[in-house]
Amino acid sequence: MTPTPDWTASTATARAWFEHLRDSICAAFEAIEREAGSDAAFQYTPWTRDAVAGEADTGGGVQGLMKGRVFEKVGVNVSTVHGAFSPQFAATINGASPDNPGFTATGISLVAHMANPHVPAVHMNTRFLTTTKAWFGGGADLNPPIPYDEDTADFHAAFKAACDAHSGGAGGDDYYGRYKAWCDEYFYIPHRKVHRGVGGIFYDHLECADAAGFDANFAFTKAVGETFLQVFPMLVRRRMGMDFTPEQKRQQLEWRGRYAEFNLVYDRGTLFGLKTGGNVDAILMSLPPEVVWS
């Protein structure tokens, strides 16, 4: 078995940031609820990962959930877990194998389903994983039942600016071009032949060879979280007071069916959580509160 580098301190640093980001996002979302005349607040439920034979402390997390007037259902979860993959699953994970199945993972995951169909739903997550390698992944994507070109443009412009600040500039590594294309490819529903939303960015396996690599990739990952916190509340406030018709609400509920189909059939994050003994309620918080299929 190959010795695994010690990324304990780096994992703790990433975890602290993810928890800070969680607190900032939840405060921002609760402020929007207050603007709408609602006293809705996040309810937090801690959980512990189920241990398997031979494992001791395996970590856990906190599920944050709010159901309000603007946010029909929003979950913001932070978890830090460690243990060993099953031999079959280890073969599918970067840097892991049946002979080296150990891992740690810390991250934040957010999904917001909105009451008003004019307000886009959204998904965001960032994470730090270690096996025999260490890497960051994450991204954010916008999922409007009723798309508006202005919202799509503003969302993409914000993440392009974040990517450009960390990708080496002109002639360098084009983070936005790569990660936008990756998002478009990933959030696609083959059996429907449609994309889940209007895109964003998605990145994975941003590897850290050493402390300098960790610092650079962590800085980019923090920029992704900060950009989300800056742009999404703006979009919510732009649309949350708009009137909508029963037909538009029906359109939203049908669109949510596509969202549920992707997350249950194709999403790697859902599979990772279920395969590593995560909290089922926290994993499936991404599913919409109400859905119809025509």
CA–CA–CA angle 174, 151, 122 (5° rounding):
80
Q: Tell me the Cα Rg of the chain.
A: 19
Q: Are 165 and 223 in contact (CB under 8 A)?
A: yes
Q: Are 117 and 146 in contact (CB under 8 A)?
A: yes
Q: Which of 82, 113, 123, 166 is catalytic?
A: 123
Q: Is 20 labeled as catalytic in the residue annotation? A: no
d(CA 217, CA 134): 11
d(CA 66, CA 22): 13
d(CA 195, CA 252): 15
Residue numbers annotated as active site: 123
